[in-house]
Structure 1
């Protein structure tokens, strides 16, 4: 019994075991499960949508198995995987490579959230440590690719099957990139991994572009490139909306021509909505100059548009500009890349100038040559982003004439980089110089004092210094004269005799009358911020102006001072009686003579 008690005491209690189990890192298994759940949610969303359309369709072509195959194929298409259609009239397989960009947003977001949750970063510092980044990323990617590979195998024998070459490239890229973004965000977006990727850049190029401060330059370039790309896509969406309104009749006719039932029209409307980002990229490429292709040999550009081949009726295709040479409305699309380049230059200029502190002049983070290098880096990032978007937004819809649809990625990338550099460079240098000049002159303001009841200080311009100085000098002269008069009266009253002390007390009881200051006169207080330049004109310091100011001050102070009291005349001293003559007195002991009245 004695041996059992120590063993029981050494055994950890149940709450302690539960706490240790809770504090343990989830590890690789939980990350793999998170990736599989993310893939399952994406597949489930596509399956629900396709099954809903299949159920509501009055004439379904296949059973529920065919609908599930279509859902899996669309899920793979959303990742950029090219599909192959086998049920054609000729029997030859036809490729389908246009990726709806709006569908791509769902898998990317699910992967991003799954990676963040897999890291399991604690909310407080006392919580358990987060899962290592490499473990969380590996688990998410493996779990997602496992479900994705199973989906590709499931629809491999269907009428709409994936191309295995694209499956092995696009699916891992989307999974790895989105999971890496989620893990990086869960760890607080550290900059060291991003800066570590710069090691692949050659040393001379890295020193020329990034210099010694790679972190602020790269951050500024990324923000500027993101803003410019957003402006370019927003301008493309605006061009698309204007073209749809301009060709509203043709778009409405094509929408009604495709199908008659409300289920089919809803499907066409849904397809048009998910392709709106693609059409915005096409319009942005049109504004950049290279345009986009509506089949092999049919290019639509602002300066000239080739006649398009016979296309199926579709609302977005009805908004394509008419064939023929371009006119002024077509050339006006060039304002979109101009706005994108100006936006990039503005963001680079903001990053090139440090925000000045209170009372300090603005300073440049890097010289003009460094600012130009950041603009070029921004142009390169814009080119890379637009190339990726153009590559995803376009693709083949068949063979022969339908082999090319959408913008050519390398042409779009080159045009985006050139437009950004041409219009971003002068804007960045000009705005940088303006921010430096305005930041340095802002510290030259002279703060004036507010004489109102609130007592708060206001800032006055530099040319108001002389007027404020005269007002303050006049007010100070009046107070000094009154104080001197009062001090003289008190001193003379104290030097007087007892009778004059009473008079001095009466004088001290009287209040000295002081002339009030003129409204708007400022009190003489020290400035909080000294002006950087001399706020007074050159003639403020000459002898004539100085003499006139002294005369004005004396004249302003003279009426306010009380006249000095006249000195009282000294009273005549009282006359003293002469001392008696002691020689006529009788000797001591002599009796006094009798009183005659007695």
Structure 2
């Protein structure tokens, strides 16, 4: 066989050696990843704004104005409040409604950059195994990436590109508010990068460990204890938020269909011609997630505000006079007391609570097996003179369902996480559109979060307990087999095959195979080969062929008997 060795290119080897000798592994890759993430987000928005500017028949400004609008939108996508100075009164007016669809883009890019920075050593490891050969030491690859170095590199690289963009956006109208810029932009980047590092690395020590140690004992036991299931609670909370947002989207679509004439009229009043209508359509699409959050807050009960003193909820809707002609605002319910149709929106939080409870109960009754086992597989243990077969749902702590208290606590934790997510989305989806009567638009975050906690907590806990009891009903109990003989306790070797009958004249060749836990015999006697074997011996002893290590075809062959009897002469 011809030995071949895969070799790396010279440039790849130089890059790997330079990375290996760096004093902070992961910092250089994090800096590059953060800068690329900021550039991709800024470039995507710039391309979209430039296309709209080119297609506009009557542009108000030149290319510099379109670039300024792109930079301003990129800053707004991080939750930064803008300030508009060209008002009728001359006083600056804030613009704080952040399109959630724009918010997803930079956060996702930062998250991916941080996760890829933690995986920087994978390429070197894969190449090391390919370049190693006989007589040649394997390349150990780059050192492990430090979570702090990767996180620090991504944040610094992103801010290094974002700072010039913020300075450029501050030179026009509208401009970013400096207090909001200093607060929101770094916090958003650090949070997204931290989630990416945690996803790739697990739970590193350091600040996370210190915060974990500062928690009360009951909270730490509930979230991070031996029997805790924070991942299950997080998945249940995410499912509940998804149901809330989906139900809010359905309410929004139904209201738009109900008020279709008003929505169509406002759409035609805002722009003339297909370029302007296309721009309005894009603006509506970027604000659809915001409207879905508003509709979810409406279904939860607190509703949302359309300016100071104008509250809209299922029980009553205050009349609003000066609403701008915008298609999504046409879906606002008519002024007046609520009806049965408005109260039917309460089915959305009920469905969210049922979803949280069902996900929690499914996690509580699903066997939690080890990496090398399969869920629901039988595991046999021998203790003393009794042999017990443990199945899913038995007393094994890895496969037994959670206790009722643990299930209820997990459902409560999922409801708390769901409420926190709803409050965060409500805070991001609303904001100010001016001063005075326009100072408050959208849901109040603490009211929406509190209502979500009440709805999901009241519904999810009994649903989780009930579904757990229903799924556990009829599960099998541990089955005990009769006690084994004293000499057979702990002896798992298959019984030896019966001896060959007298008069056969054939010797037997025994070949031990320790990797399979048994021995196999080969002989020339046909009766010995056809001797009956027990079911346990048949399961443990599986005959396999022998293979030559240097044989390319890997063809199997058998060994001849040790002393083959001579063939008797034939007589005629």
Q: Fold match, TM over 0.5?
A: yes
1:421 matched to 2:433? The reply is no
CA distance in 1, matches of 2:341, 2:87: 40
SS in 2 for 1:275: helix
- The residue that corresponds to 1:150 in the other structure is 164
Name the residue aligned to 1:213: 226
For the residues of structure 1 that align with 2:264 and 2:339, how far apart are their CA atoms?
A: 25
* Equivalences for residues 325-404 of structure 1 within 5 A: 325-355=337-367, 356-358=376-378, 360=391, 362-363=393-394, 364-404=400-440
Change (3 A) 1:105 1:219: same
Hey, which of these two has a bigger chunk of helix by percent? 1
Q: Which moved more, 1:98-107 or 1:360-369?
A: 360-369
Structure 1, residues 314-337: CA drift from partner, whole Å, max 9, x if none? 110001111111111111111100
Match of 1:251 in 2: 263
Aligned to 1:40: 39
Question: CA 1:150/1:17 → structure 2, altered by over 3 Å: closer, same or farther?
Answer: closer
CA distance in 2, matches of 1:74, 1:46: 7
Distance, in Å, in 2 between the alignment partners of 1:78 and 1:435 is: 45
SS in 1 for 2:175: strand
Residue 58 of structure 1 deviates from its aligned partner by 2.2
Please report the RMSD computed on the Cα atoms of aligned residues, expressed in angstroms.
2.6
- Tell me the SS of whatever aligns to 1:293: strand
Structure 1 residue 51 corresponds to structure 2 residue 63: no
Cα distance 1:441–1:70, how it changes in 2: closer, same or farther (>3 A)? same
Larger Rg belongs to = 1
2:98 maps to 1:99: yes
What does residue 20 of structure 1 align with? 17
CA contact 2:224–2:230 (8 Å) conserved in 1: no
Normalised by the length of structure 2, the TM-score is 0.71
Q: How far apart, CA to CA, are the structure 1 residues paired with 2:68 and 2:20?
A: 42
Q: Report the alpha carbon displacement of residue 146 of structure 1 after superposing the two structures with TM.
A: 2.0
Please report the TM-score for the alignment, with normalisation by the length of structure 1. 0.68
| Per-residue CA distance 1:512-532 (angstroms, 9 max, x = gap) | xxxxxxxxxxxxxx9xxxxxx
Say which of 116, 119, 139 aligns to 2:153.
Answer: 139
Whether 1:433 aligns to 2:469 is: yes
Aligned to 1:181: 195
Q: What does the per-residue CA deviation read over 1:314-363, in whole Å, with 9 as the maximum and x for residues that have no partner? A: 11000111111111111111110001000100111112224354572515
Q: Distance in 1 between matches of 2:66 and 2:407?
A: 55
User: 5+ unaligned residues in a row in structure 2: which ranges?
Assistant: 1-9, 129-140, 368-375, 379-389, 395-399, 480-534, 536-572
SS of match in other structure, 2:305: strand
Q: Distance in 1 between matches of 2:103 and 2:470?
A: 42
Alignment of 1:77-116 (within 5 A): 77-116=76-115
Deviation at 1:87, TM superposition (A): 1.2
Structure 1 gaps, min length 5: 1-12, 444-525, 527-598
Whole-Å Cα distance in 2 between the matches of residues 197 and 236 of structure 1? 35
Q: 1:18 to 1:298 in 2, by over 3 A?
A: closer
**Contact between 1:236 and 1:281, CA under 8 Å: does it hold in 2?**
yes
Identify which of structures 1 and 2 has the higher relative contact order when contacts are C-alpha pairs closer than 8 Å and 6+ apart: 2
